[in-house]
């Protein structure tokens, strides 16, 4: 007698979902920070003598970007895993959604730049 059910089910290690989730969360947080950093560098540096320094991008924008980077792939994986029987396909869909989110962040995110009176173009 066989103790397995008549239908064939995919065998997945019990901890594989947790490992995949942690890997996707780390990948998302790292991707979000790497896409955010070049655009926010001017606000952190402050330009000439630091007169336009805005540390609000570190205190507000960075935590929100990292949190979004963690949540976007995890939510995408959770939604896809409900309808797709293969866990690797759900992880692949989460990576694709993360790539689209990183592209959207790069296109949309532009920190506020104040006008620079007195420091215009040269002669």
Q: Note the pLDDT tens digit of each residue in 99-112.
A: 999 998 888 877 66
pTM listed for this prediction: 0.69
Least confident range of 1-15, 58-72, 103-117: 1-15
Q: DSSP class of residue 53?
A: -
Cα angle 47-29-35, degrees, rounded to a multiple of 5: 40
Q: Long-range contacts: 75-80, Cβ < 8 Å, 24+?
A: 77/20, 77/21, 77/24
d(CA 29, CA 80): 20
């Amino acid at each position: 007698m066989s103790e397995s059910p008549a239908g064939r089910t995919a065998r997945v290690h019990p901890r594989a979902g947790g490992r995949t989730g942690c890997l996707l969360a780390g990948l998302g947080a790292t991707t979000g920070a790497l896409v955010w950093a070049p655009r926010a560098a001017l606000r952190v540096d402050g330009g000439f003598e630091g007169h336009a320094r805005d540390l609000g991008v570190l205190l507000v924008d960075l935590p929100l970007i990292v949190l979004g980077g963690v949540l976007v792939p995890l939510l995408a994986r959770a939604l896809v895993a409900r309808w797709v029987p293969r866990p690797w396909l759900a992880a692949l869909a989460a990576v694709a959604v993360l790539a689209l989110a990183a592209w959207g962040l790069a296109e949309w995110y532009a920190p506020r730049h104040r006008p620079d009176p007195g420091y215009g173009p040269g002669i």
